[in-house]
Chains A and B, each alone.
Chain A
């Protein structure tokens, strides 16, 4: 399913670029908030705190995009009309990849792939749009995402790869216990 989406051209107008950029940040903020709640609900406090911090960061990025959009009439599109390469906006974390026992390392690793997906989205938007102003702004957004990825990488460096048995649960949710 995603290959057809991946091949779809990302030629956007200025309004569409800004709207896409805003939705990327807002959906990322919302999804990190929900992931923080999911983790808190199952007692994984460390990762919950981390996801909350990421939500706050994405909220700041959304504010930045809003500044860029000052004076531009933004229109919401039906959710299925956005030109994402995958099923969701690029900075939204892959839901089935989260695990109730995941460690901060895993959370940061997934967040890093989100930043990289967003960078690749904006690079493609820059390459495939006809309008020079759109190309320039998309390039700027891609550079921002690249910077976020570097920070995320540095952050990740503080958390060594967890031991192989990180998902071992002494009281597993198994049906036949």
Chain B
């Protein structure tokens, strides 16, 4: 074998020694694999990547990667990731979490992260449920999903996270399936290298509380359309598709957020003077 191959970082080099405590068969294992493969494909030094998350089964992901990471507060992954990217623009910032973390408690942050268009990638492992807290419905749970906790279903229509991202200004919007780790890797490489805020919804089955999602592998299919640069066209397509279209659905060209650097003229001492002592 050539030396060039052996010197390259492998996907396994991006995984930490911590053993995931996810349920065997959980889709998130494959998301972890796809992130590791994408970073290996890009050959990003581990110390040049920061993975930031909130709370949930999916949000455990930074602990399983060998990059910088921060397992944050429920719903606050995006503000944390925003802070990291603004302070250290040289880092590749990946924000990751679940549908509960990102669409319920953190829903408001999603709108503004898309609007700000800061150069980072947001991965939501969508299992249409709060896995960690044992199966409550989330904003992507079907209205008629019957369970012991929600007899007859939650009765509230789920929303379309990709449409919300498009309406709010995300610069890259894609839907992936965890069971296709190689296809997901390609999408993540694309998302990470695309300037601005990239949003990737990964359908990731919760085998414990949503065993029905094991069937997703038979339901997903490639989006029958090519990527568009027209956000309203992408939104219309997502509104009317079956929820299982896999692919990069939108790639925009809005310039990514750039910090306006001002010269700081005030010292800490000046600031202190403003406080009552």
Q: List residues of A whose CB falls within 8 A of some B CB.
A: 1, 4, 30, 34-35, 37-42, 44, 66, 69, 73-76, 78-80, 82, 84, 87-88, 95-100, 102, 173-176
Contacts and interface: CB of A to CB of B under 8 A. Distances in A.
Interface in B212-252: 213-214, 217, 220-222, 246
A80 B185 contact: yes
Main SS class of interface, A:
loop
Interface string B142-175: 0000011100000000000000000000000000
B5 A75 contact: yes
B209 A39 contact: no
A69 B2 CA distance: 10
Interface of B: 1-2, 5, 8, 12, 19-25, 27, 29-30, 37, 41, 134-136, 147-149, 179-183, 185-186, 189, 205, 207-209, 213-214, 217, 220-222, 246
B156 to A, nearest CB: 18
Given A99-B24, A100-B23, A175-B136, A78 B186 contact: yes
User: Which of B1, B22, B209 has the most A CB atoms < 10 Å from its CB?
Assistant: B1
A82 B213 CA distance: 26
A42 B23 contact: yes
A173 B30 contact: no
Nearest to A4: B222
Contacts of A98: 24-25
B34 to A, nearest CB: 9
A100 B134 CA distance: 16
A75 B208 CA distance: 39
A87 B19 CA distance: 24
A34 B12 CA distance: 11
A73 B181 contact: no
A42 B221 CA distance: 33
A78 B136 CA distance: 38
A79 B179 CA distance: 14
Contact of A37 (B12, B19, B180, B208): B19
A39 B246 contact: no
Contacts of B25: 38, 95-100
Contact of B221 (A1, A75, A76): A1
